[in-house]
A and B are shown apart, each in its own frame.
Chain A
Amino acid sequence: MRQRHTVRLLAAAAALTTTAALAACGGSDSGGSSTAAPGADALSHAKGVTTVEFWHSMKGPNAVALNSIASRFNAAHKGKIVVKPVYVGEYDDAIAKYKTSVQQKHTPELIQVYDIGSRFMIDSKQTVPVYKFADKDKWDTSQLEPNIANYYTFNGKLDSMPFNSSMPLLYINKKLFAKAGLDPNKPPTNLAEIMADAKKLTDRKHNVVGFNAAIYGWFLEQLLATNGDQYCDRNNGRSGLATKVDFASPDGVKVAQWWTDMVKKGYASNTGRTTDAAQQAFKSGTVGMSLESTGEMRDYINASKGRFDVVAAPFPRLSGTGSPNGGTIIGGASLWIDGIGHTDAQKRASWEFVKYAASPEVQASWHTGTGYFPVNSKALDQPSDKAWVKQYPQFTVAVNQLHSTKPSVATAGCALGVMPQARQSAEEALEKTITGGDPNAAQANLKAQADALRKPIADYTRAVQK
């Protein structure tokens, strides 16, 4: 009697597990597996409400601004489309989660991916490139800032929609500049000038250093680009999958040596690799100059209010006046529309939102709400945007820097599948040199990291070409 009972129970348990397993494996593939762009009819034929799950990495005021864009969009498409923004952690975490979702065949409809994740997103072959939608709708991609579009353009075609863009700038503490007898209207323009000014700014007795920035790989990438250097081979990975990184070049070595000298001589302090620590230091008013993103401008200005003025200056060149083909690379993130495993109505709904997010009005409100650069060039003409730039005149420097940059291979930035790891490796080499205090070790340290990257790059290439 009892035995019978057990058998039946076990059978029930087995049945339950099987169902659960089946449920986990099945589903989700109701849509086409194509990555073609459906037309507007896909939505008009759709029954009920189409939901777009939108994974993003915005937090704080940026998340508020993003949620407000989504709710305005939802209100305008009531009964048809609902965009649901979901915070999935920082950019790195978002990519890690996305990879898992691909394995489970359960990707979100739309995802925000950082600049250096672009190559991976293309190679993942999961998305519908936005140029396909743009072609279908005759949506004019030239309304995007050319330098920003340049980053997300591969083989002449726009793969994702830039959304939040930023650029690096040189930030100056005006009070300390004046105290050191320097003219804040004549900021240093290259690394050598920064060192000369930092020397004058440094005042050990009052815990003042001339320069402090996070040991952030992004700055090395930028400095190399100002000299027209490519960061990885095959035209910065844009004419084929790159096979190696070039940051151990003489220019890369120059940057590492300069930074090491600055710290060794006491003109700069080293607050490590986290940007938070460097930001706190600058906001404390004890740092003369710093490198940071345009996205940090508002925070700097507001935090220093009443204590010192913040001057924004163009990002320094690596040496001299830089290369004519050089300049800064845009950073930030773009929006990718997932195709595999999604219905035509979902893809179309995602595109409707993407179009909306890139429109001049939305970009103006996004820009003024966050400090990110507007990706739509018409956004700067919006009255709300003009008022904002008036309030933060420092932003004009960023606008000029963007507009004066010539779109080139160097300023497009390196598209490498393992770019996040490459950035990390460069940081480690820089940090090792700086904390070691020996400028002569720069070459060996950078080369060791660049060489160590060959395996992950080769593994990546093999995985893509398989």
Chain B
Amino acid sequence: MTTGGTVPRAPARHTGEHLMAYLFLVPSALVFGAFVVWPLGDSVYLSMHGSDLFGGASVFVGLQNYTDMFTSGEFGHVLLNTLLFVLLTVLPGVLGALVVVLLLESQIRGARVLRTAFALPFAFSVATASVIFSVIYNYQIGLANGILGFLGVDKVGWTTDPHMAMVSLALTTVWMNLGYNVLVLSAGVGAIPGEVMEAARLDGATGVALARRIILPLVSPQIFFLVVVTTIQSLQSFGQIHILTRGGPDGATTTLVYSIYKKAFAFGSSDFGAASAQAMVLLLIVLACTGIQFGVLQRRVHY
């Protein structure tokens, strides 16, 4: 913000400075315009048109794509799946990382090695992690069912049972996010001043009390950051769904992003109109989530 406002200046000089500022803004505005504003406008345009054979906009259909979307039971299902996926990935992902970090804080031997080990999933690409998990989850010969068989338990259709697939998918995602979450949180914990911890210990705070009263409030910015980032990430997840379940079985793992992909590109489909309408909904949801998180959660964050 301009703090120079208190000192009166010649208006001519002012205009010149403003112009200069605009000039400096031009490059970023151009990039933003070309890669954000223009595609966004195009999505709105496409969402109000039918699609020709090649996915180009054909006739103007007004809000038809939107009414089709909201009147088909399928879309409600997709939204529910998306919500479920976000809940199953964000909360366990952040809480799990927190538990790991707190345990590692308790000065056990080899904590350094363990911290590195827990951060390792961060190094895996989505595709690599998904392929590894697809081998683990294979119904007939997978590691998971192998272990269950050894324990005398019935096989589980990890990715083929409609009731199980979302859980398996979330498990993979949580594992993938864990590394990054652990890194961010342990950096946060590491940044807590030593004297604060020492003072707390002198006052007799240990274990749970120390974690709840001292560490948690002090890493709340990091927790807040992770919740925002992983929520948006979850909303946009694609790779693990595509590789592990392809949105199935019986549509049980078709989230909003996967549904957009199915409409626009998958299986020779090129219904860009319907896909764009769904993309607008995704945009609104991401905006709303970010808004809510910044508005509500931020107030509870201790900076």
Question: Does B251 count as interface, using CB distance less than 8 angstroms?
Answer: yes
* A108-143 at interface with B (beta carbon < 8 Å): 116-117, 120, 123-124
* B217-262 at interface with A (beta carbon < 8 Å): 245-246, 248-251
Interface centre among A2, A93, A417, A435, by most chain B C-beta atoms within 10 angstroms, is: A435
* B114-161 at interface with A (beta carbon < 8 Å): 134-135, 138-141, 149, 155, 157, 159-161
Question: Does B26 count as interface, using CB distance less than 8 angstroms?
Answer: yes
Instruction: Indicate which residue in B139, B140, B246 contacts A273 across the interface (CB closer than 8 Å).
Output: B246
Q: How many angstroms between the C-alpha atoms of A72 and B136 in the bound complex?
A: 43
Question: Does A421 count as interface, using CB distance less than 8 angstroms?
Answer: yes
Residue numbers in B under 8 Å from A286 (CB-CB)? 140-141
Q: B56 near A212 (CB under 8 angstroms)?
A: no
Q: A421 near B269 (CB under 8 angstroms)?
A: yes
Question: Does A390 count as interface, using CB distance less than 8 angstroms?
Answer: no
Q: How many A-B residue pairs have CB under 8 A?
A: 122
Question: Does B35 count as interface, using CB distance less than 8 angstroms?
Answer: no
By size class, the interface of chain A is 35 or more
Q: A6-B19, A431-B248 given as contacts; is B53 within 8 A of A272 (CB)?
A: no
The interface stretch among A37-45, A96-104, A227-235, A307-315 is: A96-104
Chain A 249-290: CB-based contact to B (< 8 A → 1; otherwise 0):
000000000000000000001111110110011001011000
Question: Does A424 count as interface, using CB distance less than 8 angstroms?
Answer: yes
Q: B19 near A120 (CB under 8 angstroms)?
A: no
Q: How many angstroms between the C-alpha atoms of A100 and B157 in the bound complex?
A: 38
Question: Does A399 count as interface, using CB distance less than 8 angstroms?
Answer: no
Residue numbers in A under 8 Å from B53 (CB-CB)? 99, 120, 123-124, 417, 460, 463-464
Question: Does A64 count as interface, using CB distance less than 8 angstroms?
Answer: no
4 residue pairs, one from A and one from B, having the closest CB atoms? A420-B268, A281-B140, A420-B267, A99-B54
Sample of 6 more A-B contacts, CB < 8 Å, known A272-B139, A280-B141: A9-B26, A120-B268, A124-B54, A207-B141, A428-B250, A459-B51
Residues of A within 8 A of B (CB): 2-3, 6, 9, 13, 92-93, 95-96, 99-100, 102-103, 116-117, 120, 123-124, 207, 209, 212, 269-274, 276-277, 280-281, 284, 286-287, 417-421, 423-424, 428, 431-432, 435-436, 456, 459-460, 463-464, 466
Residues of B within 8 A of A (CB): 16, 19-20, 22-23, 26, 30, 50-56, 58, 134-135, 138-141, 149, 155, 157, 159-162, 245-246, 248-251, 265-271
